[in-house]
Amino acid sequence: MNRLFLYVGREVAATILGTLLVLLALFVFFDLIGELGNVGKGGYNLLAALWYVLLEAPAHIYELLPVAVLIGAVFALSALAGSSEIVVMRAAGVSLAQIARWLALIGLVFAILTALVGEVLAPAASAEANRHRMQATKSVLGGSFRSGIWVKDGQQIVNVGAMLPDLTLRDVRVLQIGKNATLTSILDARTAEYQGEGKWLMKEVRMTTFLPDLGGVQQASLPSVIGNSSISPDMLAVLMVKPNDMSVSALLRYVDHLDQNKQRTQRYDLALWSKIFYPLAAISMILIALPFALLQRRSRNVGVRIFLGILLGVGFNFLNRVVVHVGDLYNLPAALITFLPSALLFGLAGWMLWRVERN
Torsion over CA of 186, 190, 195 and 199, rounded to 10 degrees?
A: 0
Q: What are the tens digits of pLDDT across the range 323-348?
A: 888 888 888 899 999 999 888 888 88
**Across-strand partners of 207?**
187, 220
* 159-173, 271-285, 319-333, range with greatest mean pLDDT: 271-285
- What share of the chain has pLDDT > 70, as a percent? 90
Q: What are the tens digits of pLDDT across the range 104-144?
A: 999 999 999 999 999 889 988 887 887 777 677 765 554 44
- Confidence (pLDDT) at 295: 66
Confidence of residue 13 (pLDDT cuts 50, 70, 90): very high
Confidence of residue 33 (pLDDT cuts 50, 70, 90): very high
Decide if 346 contacts 284 (C-beta within 8 A): yes
Q: At what angle do helices 57-82 and 280-295 cross, to 10 degrees?
A: 30
Could you tell me whether strands 199-211 and 156-163 are parallel, antiparallel, or unpaired per DSSP bridges? unpaired
**Rounded alpha-carbon distances, angstroms, from residue 17 to 1, 22, 53, 324:** 24, 9, 20, 29
R_g over Cα of the chain: 26
Each domain of the chain, given as residue ranges in start order, spans 2-137+277-309+333-358, 155-229
- Confidence (pLDDT) at 26: 95
- Confidence (pLDDT) at 113: 96
Q: What are the tens digits of pLDDT across the range 282-324?
A: 999 999 888 877 765 545 566 676 677 678 777 887 888 888 8
